[in-house]
Structure 1
Amino acid sequence: MVNGSASRQEATSEALTGRFEPRTGAKALVTGDRAVLLVRERHGDGSPFWTLPGGGVRAHETPTEGLRRELVEELDCRAQIEGRVSTFWYAHDSFDETVSVYTVFDCSLLSAPAPNPEEGVFESHWADPEELPPATLPQVRYLCERAVGGAMADD
């Protein structure tokens, strides 16, 4: 499991179980031409951050079904979804006491991304895994640098 920065809750000895509402999600790791696709969203306080495309999975959906829906809603695009690459968690600022556990899938786009601000996606950007924007989530940075950067370095 890929974990990013330490949470402020980790400073206590309390277990996370029972303190947070778990939320299942799916993210797309889309790579091409030595770059990874990132999307710019906003925290609850309005500050921007960069992450992988994707989001929450509804109770009646499989992770891949939810990811397909999220890609259409957020980026008006379709993708070929391949195998699971990793997992990471994210403690939300915008949802009180909510932690998402995202399954990350290797994906290839079948159409060009068009960010939808009404769905909380304000921009998309192809980034070099070694030169990610400063506001990239630590978990995403770790995944890109290890999984994507390492694979690209072997090319």
Structure 2
Amino acid sequence: MSDARGRRSTVGAETPARLREGVKALASTGTSVLLVKERHSDGDVFWTLPGGGLRAGESRIEGLQRELREELGCDIVATDRATTMVYAHHSQDVVSLYHTFQCLLLSEVTPARSHGILECRWVSPTDLPPATLPQVRTAVHSVLGGPSEQSTH
């Protein structure tokens, strides 16, 4: 398994990793997709889809709506289940299984720094920022089209 930056993961090699279920929003305009900029525990920044972990007893759609309100101060409607992504968190011995949903935004977005969102940006699926997580590239390209994963390196 590879981590978010494509490095070989050792999660589970020494200690069992905890599995965390989460949700991500793939919001698009047809020509652009919404990405958020966050920071790894080592300080490196990365671009990903908005969303996060589910709380106990929370449905995937409820969690997605809550996460988008917390991270971007906006309301959404989930339209379709898009794909699933796996993300290994090295600093926490956690592996996240993210269920990604295509979404429509019902209001403007405002990044919440208090939730670790440094910036948000609408970008073309064919011109994702260099620090976009490989899993996000794959999800965006599989749903919205764009270059293959090999051509992004």
**Alpha-carbon distance between aligned partners in 2 of 1:66 and 1:44, rounded to the nearest angstrom:** 23
**Alpha-carbon distance between aligned partners in 1 of 2:114 and 2:106, rounded to the nearest angstrom:** 22
Query: Which residue matches 1:112?
Result: 108
Cα distance change of structure 1 residues 39 and 71 upon mapping to structure 2, 3 Å threshold = same
Give the conservation status (yes or no) of the 8 Å contact 1:43–1:93: no
Identity of aligned residues (%): 47
Give the conservation status (yes or no) of the 8 Å contact 2:12–2:93: no
TM-score (norm 1): 0.84
**Aligned-partner SS, 1:28:** strand
Alpha-carbon offset, residue 132 of structure 1: 0.2
Query: Which residue matches 1:99?
Result: 95
Q: CA RMSD in A?
A: 2.1
Give the conservation status (yes or no) of the 8 Å contact 2:38–2:117: yes
Q: Does 1:39 align with 2:53?
A: no
Query: Which residue matches 1:62?
Result: 59
- CA offsets, 1:17-53, max 9 Å, x none? x721000100000000401000001101111100001
Gaps of 5+ in 1: 151-155
**Aligned-partner SS, 1:77:** coil
**Alpha-carbon distance between aligned partners in 1 of 2:118 and 2:90, rounded to the nearest angstrom:** 18
**Aligned-partner SS, 2:41:** coil
Cα distance change of structure 1 residues 21 and 112 upon mapping to structure 2, 3 Å threshold = same
Which amino acid is the alignment partner of residue 9 of structure 1? Answer: S
How many residue pairs match? The answer is 143
**Aligned-partner SS, 2:131:** coil
**Alpha-carbon distance between aligned partners in 1 of 2:6 and 2:107, rounded to the nearest angstrom:** 36
Gaps of 5+ in 2: 147-153
Cα distance change of structure 1 residues 93 and 113 upon mapping to structure 2, 3 Å threshold = farther
**Alpha-carbon distance between aligned partners in 1 of 2:12 and 2:53, rounded to the nearest angstrom:** 24
**Alpha-carbon distance between aligned partners in 1 of 2:106 and 2:133, rounded to the nearest angstrom:** 26
Give the conservation status (yes or no) of the 8 Å contact 1:44–1:93: no
Query: Which residue matches 1:137?
Result: 133
Instruction: Give the 4+ runs in structure 1 shifted more than 3 A.
Output: 3-7
Query: Which residue matches 2:143?
Result: 147
